[in-house]
Structure 1
Amino acid sequence: MAEKGKLHIVMFPWLAFGHMIPYLELAKLIAQKGHKISLVSTPRNIDRLPKLPPNLTPSIDFVKLPLPHVGNLPENAEATIDVPFDKVKYLKIAYDGLKEPITHFLKTSSPDWVFYDFVPFWLGSIAAELNISRAFFSIFTAPILSFFGPVPVLKGTQEDRTKLEDFTVRPKWVPFETTVVFRLFEIKRVFNSFTGDDDDVPDTYRAGAGIEDCEVLVVRGCSEFEPEWLKLLEEIHGKPVIPVGQLPTTVFDGGDDDTDDAWRGMKEWLDKQVKGSVVYVAFGSEAKPSQAELTEIALGLELSGLPFFWVLRKQRGSADTELIDLPEGFEERTKDRGWVCTSWAPQLKILSHDSVGGFLTHSGWSSVVEAIQFERALILLTFLADQGLNARVLEEKKMAYSIPRNETDGSFTRNTVAESLSLVMVGEEGKVYREKVKEMRELFVGRDRQDGYVDNLLGYLRSHRRLKLEDQSNGGQRN
């Protein structure tokens, strides 16, 4: 950019709200420092992102690239929230079709940096050809990235993992003792996305190629929380690794939210509950329990006797034909102490309410950070993706308790749900989990700490640009 010291950064997140929101949070933090951000996604996704505070609107441009049509992808599906799990691979194929339009945008906008996610494995090499500096920005934390290993393992040129069981043991490149591995039922559910099929490129290959072509890994996380993993990640890839803090979700409330009426009813119900007594239940935008799992969760909540607020997704987009239903009579039997919401719900507002004491969650990292932000005890029930590894990180640090499950098929019972909820919410044995989230709050969401991580990142980005310009003025090119 012409203005001295100011950076222009293009951000290109994967089409999942668990990725787009952390990208937007980092964009806001960088824009507050006076830099320009172009956040690139599809029209419908950009329209669904939270509103920006007015002071940041001049600094963050939302760039809408229409998603190419792909067979087997439902109409108007532009994010993982819009499709059943088995259709996500078609979303990735459509996303790969954005290669040409984003290349054109990069050529015409000439940014200093491009930050890209794990899916666009082709973007790093394109940016290099255009002499644009590139960062692999991972919303997955350092333990997760380290677990998946070096580029040859990710790209499949070094066959270290050929069967399910290979993912349930500590990798040979992790030199310290750790329980951060998949359980057998967890890897079974996602193994195909790591190996790929005739229709799609494996996720691991995508990540490997993206890391191979980047100059720096920008990682969600804190050096105080996971120093050994950040150090290992740097050793594995031989590239700088810069943690950018936990990026807690922030919401601008303009006062004109058309969901005020919905929230008013929820708040009135929460206001009537005893402080710290309510279990908030939500499994993120992607995880959807099976009918058998839903039944056991519901009957476990009923058995526990605890008040609960449950945000329940019955389907993933209009193409999802496998609707799930609550057990017959459940809502009637629990109406005096439970609220089931099957539409949108303001998670931050609910978690911030004094009556909420615990959070039954899929352990998606954004939800974990939000729980810690409001000091809500964590009870975990994993479903997909990196959730199992996140759960191990939290279990190791006594920050959360996982509902006991069958190792092979992941099944669980209403009794273990009820017992786990009671243990964490009110039991003496669960006091450690209730206290640990309070202890971790400042580390995870302290404003000064988060600000320091962003300053450190910007220092690196500016220094890199200066060296690159010096190199070019001396007749060379630093990529």
Structure 2
Amino acid sequence: MQPQIKTLLSQLKPHFVFFDFAQDWLPQLSSELGIKTIFFSVFTALSTAYVTVPVRLRLTGDKNTPTIEDMKIPPPGFPHATSKTGTSLQTFQARDLLYVFKSFHGGSSVDDRVLTCLKGCSAILAKTCKDMEAPYIDFVKTQFDKPVLLCGPVILESPSGVLEDRWATWLGQFPSKSVIFCSFGSETFLKDDQIKELVLGLELTDLPFCVVLKFPANVDSHVELIRALPEGFLERVKGKGMVHAGWVQQQHILAHNSVGCYLCHAGFSSVIEALVNDCQLVMLSQKGDQFLNSKLMSEDLKAGVEVNRRDEDGHFGKEDICMATKTVMVEVEKEPGKTIRANQKKWREFLLNKEIQNKFVTDLVGDMKAMA
């Protein structure tokens, strides 16, 4: 691929090339042609600041990779935006993040690739903003001594088409903002015990709910779903709860007037989608940067709530699901639910402000022109 890209760039002679960490060789190639490169980060500034900065590896001493204990604490100089103790991770979260530093089949680790990109590029572009992540943006800028450009959180366009009749009919029977919608992205397969505790916890809320689960491609999703659910569960919640295996029109569902809460994995796009659609945010993060996205929303911005988890293995019980959900859906006049709902409203208005969104684009174009 590299020879073809080099030929193409030589012919086009662009001012900039945007790239991600899969092309860690691009900065060197582009530099030889006198072309600037902009690394587009799909992660929040908090995630980059916590995990993939040069100072992180200095903690390891003579070790090649960090330990679990290393990853539980932030790197030296890390900003403590709102918490007196600063951002930190639980044991199970830190253990999961070690994959970033693991070399597969003798090749480069994810951290190797990302650091090569961040060190070699002309500038870093992140889909965030100073309003949400100023301390972490400044820390990343200092760590790599180069511009950090911002395009703001990406707001999806309204989906085309309409919601399927079966979903519209089911959701339409419930009051405004009363339904809990729950999904975990396309790459997460919950374990049997997690499925059981999740659905039992939602049942305990006594609120209407819809759960969407994914299963591996090589299994019968319907059979697996029935097997994983508690005995008699579907009959017990009939009319008030729905559990579905497979794809759904997520954007349409979140935009439905009856949906008032989104329990999700804390992928940053899903988090923004929840805020924009006026859904209360309950986060049950599963891996990687999701843990830090959840910290950003619950601790820094205080616009959502994390489900309580056991430190060693991340176990959660039905009571943890119920408590987190009720915090933002039932106990709305008590703290912390009252503050969380107020902040959710504030950030929704911010994200939907067209003047602010347009300024993100205008400022980005201006910064790039100044670099050209």
- TM-score normalized by structure 2? 0.88
Amino acid at match of 1:169: I
Report what 1:343 is aligned to.
246
Report what 1:416 is aligned to.
320
Superposition RMSD in Å:
2.6
Q: Out of 171, 190, 199, which is 1:270 matched to?
A: 171
Amino acid at match of 2:342: E
CA 154–214 in structure 1, closer or farther in 2 if over 3 Å, else same: farther
Whether 1:354 and 2:354 are equivalent positions in the alignment is: no
CA 335–393 in structure 1, closer or farther in 2 if over 3 Å, else same: same
Deviations 1:62-87 (A, max 9, x none): xxxxxxxxxxxxxxxxxxxxxxxxxx
**Matched-pair contact (CA < 8 Å) for 1:424–1:433:** yes
Residue 225 of structure 1 aligns to a residue in which SS? helix
* Distance in 2 between residues matched to 1:250 and 1:309, nearest whole Å: 24
Amino acid at match of 2:167: M
Report what 2:116 is aligned to.
209
* Distance in 2 between residues matched to 1:311 and 1:180, nearest whole Å: 31
After superposition, where does 1:417-436 map in structure 2 within 5 Å?
A: 417-427=321-331, 428-429=334-335, 430-436=337-343
* Distance in 2 between residues matched to 1:158 and 1:120, nearest whole Å: 29
Amino acid at match of 1:230: I
Q: Out of 138, 163, 167, which is 2:67 matched to?
A: 163
After superposition, where does 1:155-194 map in structure 2 within 5 Å?
A: 162-176=66-80, 178=83, 179-194=86-101
Report what 1:132 is aligned to.
35
CA 201–149 in structure 1, closer or farther in 2 if over 3 Å, else same: closer
Moved more, 275-284 or 150-159: 150-159
* Distance in 2 between residues matched to 1:431 and 1:117, nearest whole Å: 39
* Distance in 1 between residues matched to 2:362 and 2:306, nearest whole Å: 36
CA 153–306 in structure 1, closer or farther in 2 if over 3 Å, else same: same
- CA shift for structure 1 position 152: 6.4
- CA shift for structure 1 position 158: 7.0
**Matched-pair contact (CA < 8 Å) for 1:185–1:410:** yes
Deviations 1:161-208 (A, max 9, x none): 621111111321215465333221112223123222335421111110
- CA shift for structure 1 position 142: 1.3
* Distance in 2 between residues matched to 1:102 and 1:159, nearest whole Å: 38
Q: Out of 154, 168, 174, which is 1:247 matched to?
A: 154
- Unaligned regions of 5+ residues in structure 1, if any? 1-97, 466-479
Moved more, 182-191 or 373-382: 182-191
- CA shift for structure 1 position 280: 0.9
CA 236–159 in structure 1, closer or farther in 2 if over 3 Å, else same: farther
- CA shift for structure 1 position 425: 0.9
What is the percent sequence identity of the aligned residues? 30
* Distance in 1 between residues matched to 2:285 and 2:175, nearest whole Å: 28
Amino acid at match of 2:125: V
Moved more, 124-133 or 320-329: 320-329
Residue 152 of structure 2 aligns to a residue in which SS? coil
Q: Out of 118, 124, 131, which is 1:224 matched to?
A: 131
Amino acid at match of 1:304: T
Report what 2:285 is aligned to.
382
Moved more, 215-224 or 318-327: 318-327
Whether 1:144 and 2:47 are equivalent positions in the alignment is: yes
**Matched-pair contact (CA < 8 Å) for 2:24–2:117:** yes
After superposition, where does 1:285-304 map in structure 2 within 5 Å?
A: 285-304=186-205
* Distance in 2 between residues matched to 1:155 and 1:101, nearest whole Å: 37
- CA shift for structure 1 position 156: 10
CA 462–310 in structure 1, closer or farther in 2 if over 3 Å, else same: same
Amino acid at match of 1:410: G
Moved more, 300-309 or 442-451: 442-451
* Distance in 1 between residues matched to 2:12 and 2:234, nearest whole Å: 54
- CA shift for structure 1 position 104: 4.9
After superposition, where does 1:57-206 map in structure 2 within 5 Å?
A: 99=2, 101-151=4-54, 153=56, 162-176=66-80, 178=83, 179-206=86-113
- TM-score normalized by structure 1? 0.70
**Matched-pair contact (CA < 8 Å) for 1:183–1:388:** no
Aligned residues: 361
Deviations 1:347-404 (A, max 9, x none): 2211111111111111111011111112211111110110111111112132111111
- CA shift for structure 1 position 118: 2.5
* Distance in 1 between residues matched to 2:366 and 2:296, nearest whole Å: 29
CA 327–235 in structure 1, closer or farther in 2 if over 3 Å, else same: same
* Distance in 2 between residues matched to 1:154 and 1:211, nearest whole Å: 15
Report what 2:306 is aligned to.
402
CA 457–398 in structure 1, closer or farther in 2 if over 3 Å, else same: same
Residue 270 of structure 1 aligns to a residue in which SS? helix
* Distance in 2 between residues matched to 1:154 and 1:117, nearest whole Å: 21
Residue 142 of structure 2 aligns to a residue in which SS? helix
Report what 1:444 is aligned to.
351
